[in-house]
Amino acid sequence: MIEDKNQARTSLSELGEFGLINHLTQNFNIQHKSTIKGVGDDAAVIEMTDKQILVTTDMLIEGVHFDLSYMPLKHLGYKAVMVNLSDVYAMNGNATQIAVSIAVSNRFSLEAMEELYEGIHLACKGYNIDLIGGDTTSSTTGLLISITAIGEIKKEDVVYRNSAKPTDLLVVSGDLGAAYLGLQVLEREKQVFQVNPDSQPDLTNYSYLIERQLKPEARKDIVKLLKDLEVKPTSMIDISDGLSSEILHICTQSKVGCNLYEDKIPLDPQVISTCEEFNLNSTTIALSGGEDYELLFTISQEDFLKIKANPHLSIIGHITDESEGVNLVTRANQQIKLTAQGWNALQKE
């Protein structure tokens, strides 16, 4: 959290827009045969023979989606890519390219931009993604990243949100709520630091939570796992806004109901202990926390045996008729109507 005030600082205007783009993108290599032309022309050129193309876009804004006092720029770059790739994987697709647009105010130096792009580069390398273009401009305040991700998928493999069927099982990858709690821990440490800049926080007990907030991973591995298991989900979505919001998306679009079982929601031990410490209800956090970037999907009952013992997947409920509504079945076996209290991008904090 301690800022090095003596770091090298090259002004961005020394390079100009095109110089900057060239400098920042010079280490990015093109990996995909489908990338015919990347950075450097009016538009990128892509060729996807016999495949459908997935396109998704997400924007991260300083002061709204991230706070640079505890989000290192390298992590921010990495996370901004993950947020977008996650949407491609949620279609059951293979993410292949990204275009990155960045707006920066003059308080950011070249060195800061290099750090940001280091994170983007790491994400591209780790997930086999080609950087194919973007836009770099100045902003009046703060930093803003808008990424468009492109993916490829065979027509018959696409999984939408609107095709869940009654009796399908509801499945989620990984565990939930950790990213939100990581944010709470970081916010608390920020306040401690403001009061006492010499404090040395011991964050060992929160390491998983903080990693989930600062360095989330998009679940490319789950898409592969499902392929290996020969399971094609009947519907799928990624968890960016919180479990309840995403379940409601699937149910509304599929015109079905759902029973979600509270005791089946996967929680990391750090989530449970930190919820106790913060006096929060862990189910509420899992339902409404958001930023988990796990995959939520439905499968046909007949695929049950294929996924049942898998440590990466939890069966958390089942799809019902629309008339039965969308419910949480609590540990006390009470049925509560599920409402979306996920993070609303337009709500005032």
User: Under rule CB under 8 A, which residues in 214-253 are in contact with its own copies?
Assistant: 236-238, 253
Give the binding range for its own copies (CB under 8 A) out of 68-76, 119-127, 146-154, 226-234: 146-154
**Which of 30, 53, 315, 329 contacts its own copies by CB under 8 A?**
53
Cβ-based nearer residue to its own copies, 196 or 347: 347
How far apart, in whole angstroms, are the C-alpha atoms of residue 25 and residue 89?
25
**Which of 39, 81, 144, 179 contacts its own copies by CB under 8 A?**
144
Is there binding between residue 59 and its own copies (CB under 8 A)? yes
**Which of 26, 40, 69, 336 contacts its own copies by CB under 8 A?**
40
How near is the Cβ of 102 to its own copies at its closest, in Å?
8
How near is the Cβ of 308 to its own copies at its closest, in Å?
26
Cβ-based nearer residue to its own copies, 161 or 209: 161
DSSP state of 62: B
Tally the residues of the chain: 349
Tokens 């939408």 found at: 160
Q: Which helix (H) or strand (E) holds 66?
A: none
A 10 A CB-CB count for 167 gives 13
DSSP state of 162: S
What is the DSSP code string of 5-17? Answer: TT----BGGGTHH
Q: Hey, which residues between 195 and 214 contact its own copies (CB under 8 A)?
A: none
How near is the Cβ of 311 to its own copies at its closest, in Å?
25
Is there binding between residue 331 and its own copies (CB under 8 A)? no
How near is the Cβ of 338 to its own copies at its closest, in Å?
15
**Which of 7, 63, 188, 191 contacts its own copies by CB under 8 A?**
63
Give the binding range for its own copies (CB under 8 A) out of 34-42, 193-201, 272-280, 314-322: 34-42
What is the DSSP code string of 215-232? Answer: S----HHHHHHHHHTT--
- Token pair for 255: 């015109």
CB-based contact 134:99 (threshold 8 Å): yes
Q: Hey, which residues between 173 and 192 contact its own copies (CB under 8 A)?
A: none
SS3 for 152? strand
By CB under 8 A, how many residues form the interface with its own copies?
73
Is there binding between residue 148 and its own copies (CB under 8 A)? yes
Site string for its own copies, 264-303 (x = CB under 8 A): ----------------------------------------
How far apart, in whole angstroms, are the C-alpha atoms of residue 77 and residue 34?
24
**Which of 1, 61, 225, 267 contacts its own copies by CB under 8 A?**
61
Q: Which helix (H) or strand (E) holds 278?
A: helix 269-278
Cβ-based nearer residue to its own copies, 97 or 274: 97
**Cα–Cα distance list, 63 to 55, 70, 214 (Å):** 26, 12, 15
Nearest alpha-carbon partner for 139 in 44, 61, 37? 61
Cβ-based nearer residue to its own copies, 199 or 339: 339
- Token pair for 128: 């086999």
Give the binding range for its own copies (CB under 8 A) out of 14-22, 69-77, 170-178, 185-193: 14-22
Q: Hey, which residues between 69 and 128 contact its own copies (CB under 8 A)?
A: 86-88, 90-91, 93, 97, 99, 101, 103, 106
Nearest alpha-carbon partner for 342 in 194, 179, 210, 136? 179
Cα angle 340, 344, 347 (rounded to 5 degrees) comes to 125
Burial of 331 (0-12, 13-18, 19+ CB in 10 A): exposed
Is there binding between residue 54 and its own copies (CB under 8 A)? yes
Is there binding between residue 44 and its own copies (CB under 8 A)? yes
